[in-house]
Amino acid sequence: MYSKLIKKNFTKTFKDYLIYFITISLSSSLFFAFMSLTSSKNSLLEEANQFNFDIFYTWIKYATYIITISLLVLINYVNKHMLKRRVKELSIYMILGMQQTKVAFLFFIETLMLGLLAVVVGNLVGTLLSGVLTTLIVLSISDTFKFSIVFYPDTAVRTLFFFLIIYTLIGFLNIRKLSRWQLIDLLVDDKKTEGNLHGKIFYIMTSIVAIVSYGTAYIFLKRFFQIGRSFNGDIPYYESNLNQIFIFLSIIVAIYATYHTMSNIVIIIKSKSKKYKYSNLNLVLIGNLLQKISSNARTMATITITLIVALSGFVLAPILADLSEGFLTQRTQFDIKINNRYTSIDKLEDIPKIDYSFVDKILEDNNIAIKESLQLEQYFIWETDFNNDETRVNKFDYPRLAVGLSDYNQLRKMQGYEPIKLGNDEFVMHLSHEVDRATILEKFKTEQLIINDKGLKLNSNKIYNESLDEYIYNLNTQSILVFPDDITNNLKIALTKYFIHTKEPVDYDLSIKLPSIIQGEFKEKYEYLYDKYDDNDFVEIINPIRFKTAETNLVMFSSITTRLLGIYIGIIFLIISLTILALQQLTDSIEGKNRFDILHKMGVSQKDLNKLINKQITIYFGLPGVISLLGSAVVLYTFVIRFGHKLKVYVDKVSFIYNVTVPSIIVVIIFISYFLITIYSYKHSIRDVFNDEQ
């Protein structure tokens, strides 16, 4: 008997749960597609054996689990909606003598059946998506196109098991809730009214908070923009973080305050605009909006913020991935490079002139042949440039350093550039290729330097800015000065760095293992430094040590992971937000059914009621849609300010436009789809009102 009842109820109510079914199907298909990338059966990825996938597998697997857990919120919310829709029917079962626990269990089985059916459909759709994702990954790392549709049983079981745990957890909570409800509560549930209006002082306060928050966001956005214009290169990260945090926090507070203030705005429209209020069914529309916004202000604000996260994830992820890939060439110009720091050293005389011959020996022992190398020595222009962390006014402020002409020309030769010539009394600047040379030339006023009582004049070329390597600059600087060798021979050593081209690419496993071996050997040779400065907020003296093979592997998979997780976060958060918006309206269709019945009996046509529904849902979807669009535009703008000069260098304009346009189109399609499905479901929910016209 119970099985027949469950089957009948499931068939009868399936259309009412259409949005939920679509959402879970889409979520589980994405989960399946992403988890299939980590499947041991995925042979396409294994064929790309020049890369190590271990880190990628770990990132994707755990990130997918963490993000998908957010569906707990959605499934719990959906179950509340489904329970509200079925509450009268369930109360009848109890009146007829069915035990409360049995009623609760029946409801759990029905929702479980719907959820598992959605997961099965999701697995089938996910199989297709898996083929697309795998093909895109292989294409991005090997430039070979291979597409195949493969069903992964281990991933299907994992997907089913994961969602089964979520459903069981939510189902258990629902069984407890239903078991504790009194019959009278079920019978009068649809008589409960929404709406939580506050006093005038509350709305004045929220209005003030909203205005102050928007003003704060504007002030910090303007300040951030001005800082961006004053820096030709990177804005210091501490400045970027400070401004972005204040901007984002101000926007969040402003959004919450705005939704609370909107209730007052609707009240003002209702009381002041009599012409609009009494036109058509606007009075009913205003009443419905006031009821929904006043009772769901916090939920609407949270949905809007979630939409901002989704939109930002969609747009920023591919841009940051392109930026990372473009920067890869700059990061991997040498097969091996060893950076040097003096941040932990307190005395100038303790800075060592490092002999990297021990590195050559380590490479030789591991059958790595060196094609050419350079031990780049960099010097303080003046001894007073040296400051430790305690004496430096700003701990992020490091001096520009100088290099000798012979080292500089060797560096240029290794990178395929012609050497330069300097007179004995000349110097020149080398500027990062990320910085606009013409802008610096306009600001460049120094024509002469006095070094050790000897005057040096600026060479006629003034500035070179070919791409040599990011490690040739001191921390937080983007330029070096090039002096004749006889000048640098009399300067104090600051840093000694090592750049190597190998005859053959270094094996990946070796590129992971050798940095720690090099670091250990260095510690043995310069043990006195570690003994002296070990307790001085110690930072490794040679750090980081980068191998091109490992770096390429890391950056490529970081880029791919950023793209994939950006899409995943964007879609999951988007459908969670839109589903909750839709369910709030569908809940209104249940609670307001009597209202529509009365209006229809009073002579309001089905056409006019449909127009009312269309207006109401348009406003309810449009409000968070517009606010989230503006909010995500601000988020995108702050990142453009932060990385603007890098975007110009590493991301071409066409790619940038593409990365903004395509995700935006996807978002619009998903948004409109949920909007139209909500309108359909709302009208389907109140169809009984118009039975007399059939």
Q: What is the per-residue pLDDT across 297-318, written as a single tens digit (0 to 9) for each?
A: 888 898 999 999 988 888 888 8
| Other CB atoms within 10 Å distance of the CB of residue 169 | 13
Look at residue 214 and give its three-state secondary structure: helix
Residue 559: pLDDT band with limits 50, 70, 90: confident
- In this predicted structure, the answer to whether residue 501 has a pLDDT above a threshold of 90 is yes
Specify the pLDDT at position 694: 47
Look at residue 315 in the predicted model and tell me its pLDDT: 87
Q: Return the pLDDT at 514.
A: 94
In this structure, what token pair is assigned to residue 244? 């972005």
Confidence of residue 659 (pLDDT cuts 50, 70, 90): confident
For residue range 255-304, list pLDDT tens digits in order. 999 888 887 777 776 666 666 655 666 667 777 777 777 777 888 898 99
Amino acid code (one letter) for 327 = F
pLDDT band at 45; cut points 50, 70, 90: low
65 contact partners, CB below 8 Å, separation of at least 6: 162
How many Cα atoms within 13 Å fall on the side-chain side of residue 421?
1
Higher pLDDT, 375 or 175: 375
Question: Are the C-beta atoms of 562 and 321 separated by less than 8 Å?
Answer: yes
- Tokens (6 digits) for 548: 């091109």
Give 73 or 582, the one with higher predicted confidence: 582
* pLDDT classification of 334: cutoffs 50, 70, 90: very high
* 254 pLDDT tier (thresholds 50, 70, 90): very high
pLDDT in tens, 424-467: 888 999 988 877 777 666 666 666 777 877 888 887 778 898 88
Report pLDDT for 121: 92
How much is the mean pLDDT over the chain?
Answer: 81
Across 11-15, 227-231, 270-274, 381-385, the highest mean pLDDT is recorded for: 381-385
Question: What pLDDT sits at residue 425?
Answer: 87
Q: Is the pLDDT of residue 195 over 70?
A: no
Residue 44 token pair: 């396409």
**Residue 163, pLDDT above cutoff 70:** yes
Q: Apex CA 71: angle with CA 11 and CA 253, to 5°?
A: 130
Which of 6-10, 216-220, 564-568, 653-657 is the most confident on average?
A: 216-220
Residue 5 confidence (pLDDT): 58
Would you say 59 and 564 are in contact if contact means Cβ atoms under 8 Å apart? Answer: no
Q: Is the pLDDT of residue 231 over 70?
A: no
Give percent above pLDDT 90 in the chain: 21
Q: Who's near 302: CB < 8 A, 6+ residues apart?
A: none
Do the bridges between strand 493-502 and strand 370-380 make them parallel or antiparallel, or are there none, so unpaired? antiparallel
- Residue 169: the pLDDT is 84
* pLDDT digit string, tens, across residues 378-430: 999 988 888 876 666 666 678 999 999 999 999 999 999 999 999 888 899 99
Give 352-366 pLDDT, tens digit per residue: 999 999 999 999 999
Select the highest-mean-pLDDT range: 504-518, 593-607, 644-658. 504-518
Q: Which residues contact 420 (CB under 8 A, 6 or more apart)?
A: 405, 408, 409, 412, 428, 461, 464, 482
List b or e across 488-517, with b for residues whose CB sees 16 or more CB atoms inside 10 angstroms.
Answer: beebebbbbbbbbbbeeebebebbbebbee
93 versus 130: the higher-pLDDT residue is 130
CB 649: neighbour CB atoms within 10 A?
18
Rounded CA gap, 400 and 496, in Å?
15
Residue, of 12 and 126, whose pLDDT is higher: 126
Determine if the peptide bond prior to 399 is cis (ω within 30°). no
% residues pLDDT > 70 (the chain): 80
Strand order from edge to edge, sheet including 479-483: 448-451, 454-464, 426-431, 479-483, 401-404, 370-380, 493-502, 336-340, 542-547
| Better-predicted residue by pLDDT, 51 or 515 | 515
CA distance 388 to 411: 29
Mean pLDDT over 189-208 rounds to: 68
Least reliable range by pLDDT among 94-103, 300-309, 652-661:
94-103
Does 548 have pLDDT greater than 80?
yes
What's the confidence (pLDDT) of residue 518? 94
Least confident stretch, 186-190, 259-263, 426-430, 608-612: 186-190
